[in-house]
Structure 1
Amino acid sequence: MRGKPFLFYPVILFGFLLLVDSIFRIPFVQLLTKLDLTAVNYSAKRTLLENLISEKKTKSDKKLMLILGSSRLLYFDAEDLKSFYPDWEIYNLSSAVTTPAYYDYQLTRILDAGIRPDLVLMETDPNQFNQNSIFKISNLTYSFDLPYVLSNAWLFGKDNVSFFLGRKIFAVGTYKPYLDQMWRNYKNPNLESFVSMNQTTFDFIVQNNGHGLSPIDNYVEKDANLLDLTSHRTLDWLFASYVPSEMQYGFYEKILTRLKSDNIRAIIVWPTSSPNFEDLISKEKAVSAWEEKIGSVSGKFDQSILKLKEDPNYSCNAFADGGHIAKECYHSLMRAVQLEYFRRYETHRL
């Protein structure tokens, strides 16, 4: 071996690569690779989940509600919920662009910790069952832990497991080392403001039980042409290459199986969007096929979908864009959920 030092070259090279990769585990360096709030939202939800598991091991006199959704269930006002529903403690584990796999991970962690929610409010939507969604670069990149992925490898499949392991082992898989982009971000005059916003967003989410800090807060889009434009853009983004994901249906059934076996009360809700977008998706064959299948799967577990567009207890005429309701509509949304809860589970209180 003394005469063959070249045999150590691969080891030295690998060690050097790991050293370089470790630089991209530094939070500020990660931020320089991409100036967006995706990572901080998922990071805040991980912290919230750990806090919830830690705090809820002690009994509370309030009912516990878990919200599992996408950006369409993200922006409840924590103070409003406390005022209108003082008997409930409501934790929001929603995040942008989520899937049944993401919901199952959150729910599994909570139930396995011995925490029994009084109600699980879970969103469902045809895009969550799209094989060609951005699942890999959102949920699979920023969520989950190794034990969960390995224990569900049969559902994730070889490709997703390999992708997850690659991202976990090498930070540069997630935070790309494009030095020119990093330098531009470093010289960005708004960098300091973005760093501050990053921390503010994290703190707000954790301190407000997971309810999101809206970048547009109480904004309402009043231009019908813009609503139509954003509706078409959203449709093209979500359904241009739609292929049903058997993996996500598998996770959906896994969730319903666990809820039923543990006798956990649940409401599965299909949120609304603007009339422009609702009209567009009503013409999509993929949506009608999903609606039929999700109804059939849910029915096997004695569940039904609360379709807000058909619910007389829900009303919303304000929208942030084509795909999202305005914040003021969240009052009506929670009211519809509460009425559905009493209708299904506590009819004596109606």
Structure 2
Amino acid sequence: MKSKPFLFYPVVLFLFIFVIDKIFLLPIFHGEFLQAGNSVFYFQRKVLKDRLLKDPDLKEKKLTLVFGDSRSYPFSEIGIPEPYKKNWTLYNFSSPQGIPMNSYIQFQEILESGVTPDFVILSLSPEAFDDSKGFILSPFLRMGCDSNCIGTVWEDVPFKEKWDYLLDRIFVIRSIEFNLSLFTSRLKQGKLKEYKSSHNKEFQLINYTKGEYLMYGVQSNPIEKIKNDTIRIGNLYMRSYNIGSSQFPYVEKILKITKEKKIRTLVLWPKVFPEYYSYYEKFHIKEVWWDKVETLAKQYDAKTLNWNAPNTCDLFNDASHQSAFCFVDQMKEIWINYAEK
């Protein structure tokens, strides 16, 4: 029988890739290894928690915590209206695709560290409740959930995401989503130091204040551009939309805590571009999702606010995000009607 060594080539190749992959187990890839976007935000939120715990203003001022996704980035301490501003401080822990699981884990860690807020703004988006689209849970599981966190949320993670998580443990490069083009660009420009927060301008911008991100500060983008973005995200998020079961338990856990600790709480549905809202209408989001959220909030004595209503601010950066200019009046509304009332 003739020898057929080529039959072993796939095995050798697999073993080679497997060994090379283990380079990404080195600590350098699992601490401050800032690429762009999601990884910067999730790392900054850990830094922000440490800053919060050391803030001397907590002894003199009331504390607001904001949890949610990118639609609540612009909530900022500078937006608190007079005369209330002198009595309040605000930390914004909103994260990219910040699902309720993520909000609960962040909230619980802050409470366990000995800090209890006076007011919580919990911003929710219906897209976060669709378990059929794994890319919604992926950022949190990969960047915002350590081993202790996994033990807490594992039973509520959908099967497909459990499988992906296990693959991330086997092939480590998956878990860090290594961006080769960004690495090549930084290498060519001599900017590898940007993987560290001390040299990363995106991190420094986010970390300059208390977590808010005002990139959505344009007063108005061209309507045609926003309409094109509506089609893009409509196809991405709202194609065959299905309400799942993984996130509602964490909304309820947050509300249960705020009721027990007598923390004023506002559950908020941020506004989206009206043509994108038509996708919500197609899938009866208000009836099958928001009504359930309102019922939960009422059960735990929290207030609710739906900004997808007539006569609310109609300035948009894109189909999914209002302009930061909207938040001046919106913050005033929240403080007068919910924080101080």
The TM-score by the shorter chain falls in which range?
Answer: 0.7 to 0.9
The residue aligned with 1:245 is 244
Paired residue for 2:125? 125
Matched, 1:320 2:321: no
Is the contact between residue 25 and residue 171 of structure 1 (CA under 8 Å) also seen in structure 2? no
AA of the residue aligned to 1:87: N
Matched ranges for 1:63-74 at <5 A: 63-74=62-73
For residues 64-92 of structure 1, give each alpha carbon's deviation from its aligned partner in whole angstroms, at most 9, with x where no partner exists. Answer: 00011211110245545487722110000
Q: Secondary structure of the residue that 2:317 maps to in structure 1?
A: strand
Structure 1 residue identity aligned to 2:46: R
Q: Which moved more, 1:61-70 or 1:295-304?
A: 295-304
| 1:156 equivalent in structure 2 | 157
- The aligned residue for residue 9 of structure 1 is none
Match for residue 205 of structure 1?
Answer: 206
The residue type paired with residue 99 of structure 1 is I
Pairs within 5 Å for 1:292-311: 292-310=291-309
DSSP 3-state at the match of 1:211? coil
CA distance in 2, matches of 1:229, 1:190: 37
Moved more, 221-230 or 109-118: 221-230
Displacement of 1:141: 0.9
C-alpha distance after superposition, 1:99-130 (max 9, x if no partner): 11011011111122221101000111211211
1:22 corresponds to which of 12, 22, 25: 25
**Aligned residue identity for 2:335:** Q
Where 1:247 maps in the other structure, the secondary structure is: coil
Deviates more, 1:204-213 or 1:76-85: 76-85
Contact 1:131 1:242 in 2 (8 A): no
Bigger CA drift: 142-151 or 112-121? Answer: 142-151
After superposition, the Cα gap between the structure-2 partners of 1:174 and 1:115, relative to the gap in structure 1 and judged at 3 Å, is same
Partner Cα separation in structure 1 for residue 118 and residue 66 of structure 2: 11
CA gap of 1:299–1:79, structure 2 versus 1, over 3 A, is closer
**Where in structure 2 are the equivalents of 1:1-350 lying within 5 Å?**
20-23=23-26, 25-26=28-29, 36-55=36-55, 59-81=58-80, 85-133=85-133, 134-156=135-157, 160=161, 163-164=164-165, 167=168, 171-176=172-177, 181=181, 184-186=184-186, 199-212=200-213, 214=215, 218-310=217-309, 315-341=312-338, 346-347=340-341
Q: Per-residue CA shift, 1:231-259, capped at 9, x if unaligned? A: 22222211113222211011111111111
Deviation at 1:26, TM superposition (A): 3.9
Whole-angstrom distance in 2 between the partners of 1:92 and 1:176? 25
CA contact (8 A) 1:221 1:320 kept: yes
Offset, 1:213: 5.1
Distance 1:13 1:187 in 2: 24
For the residues of structure 2 that align with 1:28 and 1:263, how far apart are their CA atoms?
36
Deviation at 1:322, TM superposition (A): 1.5
Asked if the contact 1:125/1:270 (under 8 Å) is kept, the reply is yes
CA RMSD of aligned residues (A): 3.6
Structure 2 gaps of 5+ residues are 1-14
CA distance in 2, matches of 1:323, 1:221: 13
Bigger drift between 303-312 and 69-78 goes to 303-312
Secondary structure of 1:137's partner? Answer: helix
Cα separation, 1, equivalents of 2:183 and 2:143: 24
User: Structure 1 283/166 Cα, relative in aligned 2: closer, same or farther at 3 Å?
Assistant: closer
C-alpha separation between the residues in 2 aligned to 1:107 and 1:82? 25
Equivalent pair of 2:62/2:117 in contact (CA under 8 Å): yes
Q: CA deviation at 1:189?
A: 5.8
Give me the whole-angstrom Cα distance separating, in 2, the residues matched to 1:190 and 1:334. Answer: 42
Give the aligned residue type for 1:327. A
User: Which runs of 5 or more residues in structure 1 are unaligned?
Assistant: 1-11
- Within 2, Cα distance between the matches of 1:95 and 1:226? 25
Query: Are 1:24 and 1:172, in contact at CA under 8 Å, matched by a contact in 2?
Result: no
The TM-score normalised by the length of structure 1 is: 0.79
Whole-Å separation in 1 of the counterparts to 2:31 and 2:60: 41
Deviations 1:37-83, CA, capped at 9 Å, x for gaps:
21011100111112223447x85111100011211110245545487
Amino acid in the other structure paired with 2:253: K
Mapped contact 2:64–2:119 kept (Cα < 8 A)? yes
Residues 271 and 322, structure 2, Cα contact 8 Å, conserved in 1: yes
Q: Distance in 1 between matches of 2:297 and 2:17?
A: 49
Aligned with 1:44: secondary structure? helix
Summarize deviations over 1:167-201 as a string: whole Å, max 9, x none: 4686412235686x467445666968977997122
User: Partners in 1 of 2:208 and 2:183 — Cα distance?
Assistant: 33
The equivalent residue for 1:6 is none
Q: Tell me, what secondary structure is at the counterpart of 1:332? A: helix
Q: Please state how far the C-alpha of 1:310 moved relative to its aligned partner.
A: 3.5
